[in-house]
Amino acid sequence: MSALVASVILFLIITAIFSVIGFRFWVQPQTAVERVMGQVEQAQAGMSDPSLNFRDMLTKIGQMVPANPADVGILQRRLLSAGYRNPRILRVLYGLKCVLAIVLALVSGGLLYGLELASEMSLFQIIAAAGIGWAGPNMAVGRMASRRQRQIRKGLPNALDMLVICVESGLGLDQALMQVSKELRTAHPEIADEFAVLNLEMRAGKRRADALHNLGERSDVDELKKMVSVLVQADKFGTSISQTLRNFSDYMRVQMRQEAEEKAAKIGVKLVFPIFFFILPALFVVTVGPMLVRVMRDFLPQMMGSM
């Protein structure tokens, strides 16, 4: 009976929360729009995508959440590294963190009290669930940023080779970057996207050096930052860009080969634990197992009989 009461109370709490949020952030603004704009806008609003309404709701919730300026800067850099450049995406992230924290706290409380698993640690478990909901989006953004950085690092040597070909064929650096962003759209979309943003910044009137520095800061990839420094120095001192890119491409190839050799050298050490815990027990079972079975079947009865 107590489980049923707890489930009903949890359902009523969740229904009330979402009803208040929906009335505050959707029903009232929708009514005002219909009253001011008329039936045409009403029909257009009815055809809106539900995902956009959910995003707007998260944005409004995120605007009400107080944020630490230091954490805001770190999260903004992670979002840029993950490929999210919308200025409102940070507020959407804070709204998602708040909603997940509330939902996970309610779900954990309902499960603990509904299944009669409550104890003196229940409050700490609910707080831990809320903390997981609050910190989970940060971890997800960090993983997406790391994955995108690996993809950029993987596609950078091919992009450099194509840049060398384009520059040596007579194109300028701006046109070469544009051509590379078009050609690598399918094979390496991450680095092609970064080069496309770089081209847009230079077309908008930003200095090449500033746009290149923004490229390195936006991606937060060490190899790309080194390439930016090399290109800025070549542009500043008037040296050959094609030769500079070729030298840097050779440097990247050597560095990738050294990293591969380092990973290959670590394989022996990393295989010790899988071999010891997984392969050797199976070998012992296969080799020693039949002998143990024969000993227990033949010799143990004779020994017990002789005694």
Average pLDDT over the chain, rounded to an integer: 79
Comparing 210 with 40, which gets the higher pLDDT? 210
What DSSP line would sit under the chain, residue for residue?
-HHHHHHHHHHHHHHHHHHHHHIIIIIHHHHHHHHHH-HHHHHHHHTS-HHHHHHHHHHHHHHHS---HHHHHHHHHHHHHHT---TTHHHHHHHHHHHHHHHHHHHHHHHHHHTT---TTHHHHHHHHHHHHHHHHHHHHHHHHHHHHHHHHHHHHHHHHHHHHHHHTT--HHHHHHHHHHHTTTT-HHHHHHHHHHHHHHHTT--HHHHHHHHHHHH--HHHHHHHHHHHHHHHHT--HHHHHHHHHHHHHHHHHHHHHHHHHHHHHHTHHHIIIIIHHHHHHHHHHHHHHHIIIIIHHHHHHH-
pLDDT of 61 > 70? The answer is yes
pLDDT tens sequence across 249-295? 888 888 888 888 998 888 888 888 888 888 888 888 888 888 887 77
Q: Where are the domains of the chain?
A: 2-148, 149-268
pLDDT at 79: 87
pLDDT at 47: 47
Share above pLDDT 70 across residues of the chain, in percent, rounded to a whole number: 79
pLDDT of 193 > 60? The answer is yes
Identify the CATH class of 149-268: mainly alpha
Lowest-confidence segment of 31-35, 191-195, 231-235 by average pLDDT: 31-35
